[in-house]
Structure 1
């Protein structure tokens, strides 16, 4: 695939892939080839929380030369406005999260719509005017807020692109000696979350996944869940693994079901997750959280904004009551239990269609959280026993 991209500089590509299928690996290898074999000007567009880390990674591999720029889409577009100079190749990581023209988001994202870009509807449309060849890493199941480019906008903007599909799972490693594989787990999670959404046919979903990945009760099982005391049990499980594997990077992650304020991260005494005498706080930062030097970093509960694109060893996931089950057994998102103001549509924009989109945002958040673990996942149900029953029924665990 890399050779095809290099040999076809006038062709644009969308690289589709589920979580852990190697989109970022393909990105880095493609850039390495382009830098060593050509003199092309290359831009890598990343999400704000990954910009610093991406630069460090490319520096370690000796790929930080003058032909390469690593920056956010906002910086790329605004930089072009000041100094119009096209790039030969622009590669966008997590292109499903590019911003669209939308009032309810940080004003910085809307600063790009001026001069040559004043009529553009989203950042991708701007980027297409800046790069000669565009390569987009894309996952339809990772859009998590109304300000992200819509599926319809993305499809229209890329209708003439070459679509490629990655299917091999690299992140998740099913334990040796099991009948099930990492692909069985990914397909099961997709079925659990999206079976009633109509989105499964837009992914590489295989309905014939081995459900034993969810029925395995052994200590080394890849997946498991705790019926009671979710916070305590997840902490015990994570810490037990740390004792045996001190080099592991393990974290507990949670849905956006506990309130958080921007300034909370500066005060370690403010906690958000409470169970009996256990008190834990949200991640103190979103940028490079895994490597934060805070004393309690390993004990903080990570949000989706802190772990997108991050690989962890063991992961505990608190599935909250922002996901509800209706009378027909279908999942829907409950706004009153969801605490991210930028993740909901404003009242004036609410329609049955946007309500469905909001449900997808919440489903996508849990999809991201449940696909971070290399060596294992355990779930706990935060004020949400109904979802536990839904999981057991849907995946035929009992």
Structure 2
């Protein structure tokens, strides 16, 4: 982990972590140069697509925002003759918490304006109404784009990405199939390739981990867990990775870490009832009793940055895309350990996110996809932490297995 990336993550202001002025790694600089050259090469083509892939924490959003700042600076520059001058560019993200962050960032940089950021459906409907086409569109978290019509979101076409490509000359997108969370936005590599077929496409894979200050064995443990394997605990290291027999004890430590370092929160798998009815809904695990995060769409700050959310339990939807210093993760009733098969077992019937499984028409093997979505959510939740990850399992067998593996580690 390089010193400058440490500085990024140590800072408790999420805006600064995603700032376009953050120093990039050599791989990120190479990617940025490749993309700007790609834009120059294809500026007069009908369509061209650049795909950025990488695991959580590899700095995809940092690169996207840095490129967007450069494009908008050149677009709004008074110097004539630059090929990017006067271009109409947008950054799209289908994530309300990330949208808050991007719009907050725009306040600090003269070339970026709030109107440059759009949700995908808003962008599509606006461009169709104006009968216009954008020059360059950047899409963060493209794996959250809809893959079917959605009346609730006023999206009447078949696929967000398909429509955005029609409405832009160049599309630059961030994609990670292991962060797909809903049937209505179900993506895999084949689905992406099908949409991109026939267009000029370039792909770049970011590999270096910049979020988690952890050794490779921690990252490997998480990957194994999300592949249903509960393996030996990683060796003790600076990254504080442990499991707890008591959820309240874990929460007490999270509060202590939050007082010391900030940005430390409790999160949980979506296994506890929650409704958007304005009421408080609680998670109970023994002595632990804490409410789910309250929906505050008009709140200026994202959930992860609000001080009061230390008194709430976050979901995958409130923390996806964000860094937290310490994370206490409650693995709820849907996450089980099969002692005979020695592997993780999932029970979709106990998963309380009904919206995630709405609209299975046309999906091959929907039951299999359900379990993959649940594993994806665990992957997102386990990869938010910079300094430490704590686990508590509702299932007694899983809790016992985790504690046993922890007691036997070096």
Give 2:33's aligned residue: 3
1:69: Cα distance to partner? 1.5
Q: Tell me which of 341, 347, 366 is aligned to 1:328.
A: 341
Corresponding residue SS for 1:92: strand
Name the SS for the 2:292 alignment partner.
Answer: coil
Change (3 A) 1:33 1:140: same
User: Partner residue of 1:238?
Assistant: 254
**Residues 347, 27 of structure 1: CA spacing in aligned structure 2 closer, same or farther, 3 A cutoff?**
closer
Q: Give the secondary structure class of the aligned counterpart of 2:387.
A: strand
Give SS of 1:133's match: strand
Does 2:209 align with 1:189?
no
- Equivalent positions of 1:1-398 (< 5 A) are 1-9=31-39, 10=42, 11-37=48-74, 38-39=84-85, 40-49=87-96, 50-65=98-113, 69-102=116-149, 107-113=151-157, 121-151=158-188, 152-159=190-197, 160=199, 161-174=201-214, 181=215, 183-194=216-227, 214-216=234-236, 221-226=239-244, 228-230=245-247, 232-245=248-261, 248-263=262-277, 266-267=278-279, 270-285=280-295, 287=297, 288-292=302-306, 296-326=308-338, 327-345=340-358, 353-386=365-398, 389=401, 397=409
Q: 1:297 offset after TM fit, Å?
A: 2.2
- The whole-number CA distance in structure 2 between the counterparts of 1:65 and 1:347 is 38
Residues 1:378 and 1:302: Cα distance change in structure 2 (over 3 Å) = same
**Cα gap change, 1:365 to 1:347, in 2 (>3 Å):** closer
Shift of 1:345: 5.0
TM-score by length of 2: 0.78
Distance 1:164 1:252, change over 3 A: same
CA-to-aligned-CA distance 1:277-329 (integer Å, 9 cap, x gap): 54210001265213447xx5211000001111111111100011212345533
Superposition deviation, residue 55 in structure 1 = 1.1
Shift of 1:338: 0.7
CA distance in 2, matches of 1:34, 1:253: 36
Question: What is the Cα deviation at residue 215 of structure 1?
Answer: 3.4
* Alignment check: 8 A CA contact 1:43 1:71 kept: yes
Task: Compute the displacement of 1:222 (Å).
Answer: 2.4
Runs (5+) with no aligned partner, structure 1: 114-120, 175-180, 197-210
Root mean square deviation of aligned Cα: 2.8
Residues 332/123 of structure 1: CA separation in 2 closer, same or farther (3 Å cut)? farther
Residues 362 and 387 (structure 1), Cα distance of their counterparts in 2 relative to 1, 3 Å cut = farther
2:78 matched to which residue of 1? none
Residue 71 of structure 1: CA displacement?
Answer: 0.7
Q: Retained in 1: the 8 A contact 2:265–2:309?
A: no
Aligned length: 353
Counterpart residue number, 1:202 = none
CA contact (8 A) 1:17 1:139 kept: yes
Q: Distance in 2 between matches of 1:90 and 1:258?
A: 37
- 1:321–1:384 contact (8 Å) kept in structure 2: no
